[in-house]
Amino acid sequence: MADIATLVAAAGYLITVLLIYLYISRGKSSRKLAAGFGAVWAAALFFHAIALGQSLLSPVGLDLSFHNAISLVVWLVSLLLFITSMRCPMEILGIPTLGIGAVLIVAGIFHPDLKAQIVQGDPGLEWHVLGSLLAFALFTLAAVQAIVLAYQDHRLHNHQLKGWVAYLPSLQFMESFLFQLIGVGFTLLTLSLISGWLFVDDIFAQHLAHKTLLSIFAWIIFGTLLLGRAFAGWRGRTAVRLTLVGFSLLTLAYFGSKMALEIILAS
């Protein structure tokens, strides 16, 4: 049942990508398309939540094996972008985000995890894990936003305003939105690190040391970026580069070892 719900969700994400593309290519002239991709997107999120409920939740705790963790992040990213698109025209980010997300969740069906990774403990530990993944989801959106921002800036400087770039909000809005994502993500990452000290028995244990150190390095980078923005007016390429470096560190922290241990070395 979980596999069927996952396939339906993936199909919904891909149809949403197609409808967003058609919406943009028609110059936002079709309200039916806008309503259509909103409804399909919501349905995809619903079926994805059903799949997660069946694969993630177990009687003894949360099963955060590699593909389940990836699937949860994809759902969180999709949900956050869906909510964001309801108040500002950011649905164009759904084209790469939902497309890649659909591929990732389907990959979990054809390459299932070799063993469960149950997170057991008090609710504080589970909230720590979920908060960490929510922070990562926000930084994932920030990374996509940074790439789009860099491309938009390049096209503007070369006076190439045709195509989908013309659909994007102003460069100032895009940059402001990027820092909003980073600010919220930084707050959640801070809470995640604090809760790790409180609820994880040994946060610097051998199997957690790399994750903790990489997360701290990423926290320092994002904190420096926010301070640089506030006091030195950092923007443009500096913001894009630091965002991508911080996101890369978090990716290695959250999923690097899980991929190596659960997929590469275990296969």
The string of pLDDT tens digits covering residues 10-28 is 999 999 999 998 888 776 5
Could you read off the pLDDT of 222-235 as tens digits, one per residue? 999 999 999 999 98
* Whether residues 36 and 156 fall in one domain: no
Q: Which of 120, 140, 172 is the last residue of a domain?
A: 120
126 and 94 share one domain: no
Is 42 in the same domain as 108? yes
Task: Out of 76, 99, 120, pick the residue that ends a domain.
Answer: 120
112 pLDDT tier (thresholds 50, 70, 90): low
Residues 6+ apart with CB under 8 A from 170: none
Same domain, 150 and 115: no
CB 49 within 8 A of CB 73: no
Q: Are residues 115 and 32 in the same domain?
A: yes
Considering the domain architecture, whether residues 31 and 107 belong to the same structural domain is answered as: yes
**Best mean pLDDT range from 44-53, 157-166, 246-255:** 44-53
Q: Are residues 18 and 141 in the same domain?
A: no
Where is the domain boundary, 120, 147, 170? 120
Whether 184 and 84 share a structural domain: no
Burial of 86-117, coded b for 16+ CB within 10 Å and e otherwise, reads eeeebbbbbbebbbbbbeebbebeeeebeeeb
Same domain, 217 and 260: yes
| Same structural domain, 267 and 158 | yes
Give the pLDDT band of residue 129 (cuts 50, 70, 90).
confident
Contact 17, 101 (CB under 8 A): no
What average pLDDT does this structure show over 38-63? 89
Check whether residue 110 and residue 179 sit in a common domain.
no
- Domain range for residue 86? 1-120
Q: Does 193 lie in the same domain as 87?
A: no
The residue with tokens 């500096």 is 238
**Is the pLDDT confidence value at 61 over 90?**
no
- Count of domains forming the chain: 2
Q: What is the pLDDT of residue 74?
A: 96
pLDDT in tens, 80-97: 999 988 888 888 899 999
